[in-house]
Amino acid sequence: MAPQVHTEDLLDAQGVADLLGLSHRNTVFQYQRRYDDMPRPVLDLGEGRVKLWLRPDVAQWWARQVERGRTRPGRRRPR
């Protein structure tokens, strides 16, 4: 049986950028290359197409980054 996903927990790249306090959605893809432990999209329709992440996964990852001091000063915590 596949896990159930609440649609309100799905974020596109702009949603991830907003959650992390990033200025641009393209920065999300730079983070994917920089941080091996960053959650990967749960839905990836291919190059140039929509990618979706789970909000709880991204928020938990970001909280770990904050605990480790791996964030820039002034970045806000996820909602």
CATH number of the domain within which 47 lies? 1.10.10
| pLDDT number for residue 39 | 97
CA distances, 17 to each of 1, 4, 28, 29 (Å): 31, 24, 6, 10
Provide the token pair at 65. 């980054």
Q: In angstroms, rounded to a whole number, what is the distance separating the alpha carbons of residues 55 and 15?
A: 9
- The whole-number pLDDT of residue 69 equals 84
Q: Which residue range(s) make up the domain with 54?
A: 7-68
Domain membership flag for residue 79 = no
Position 77 scores a pLDDT of 52
Three-class SS of 16-31 = HHHHHCCCCCHHHHHH
Question: What total of structural domains would you count in the chain?
Answer: 1
Take residue 59 and report the two structure tokens written for it: 């928020």
Chunk the chain into consecutive blocks of 10 residues (it has 79) and report each block's average pLDDT, rounded to whole numbers: 85 96 93 94 90 96 89 55
Task: List the 51-54 sheet strands across, edge first.
Answer: 10-11, 51-54, 43-44
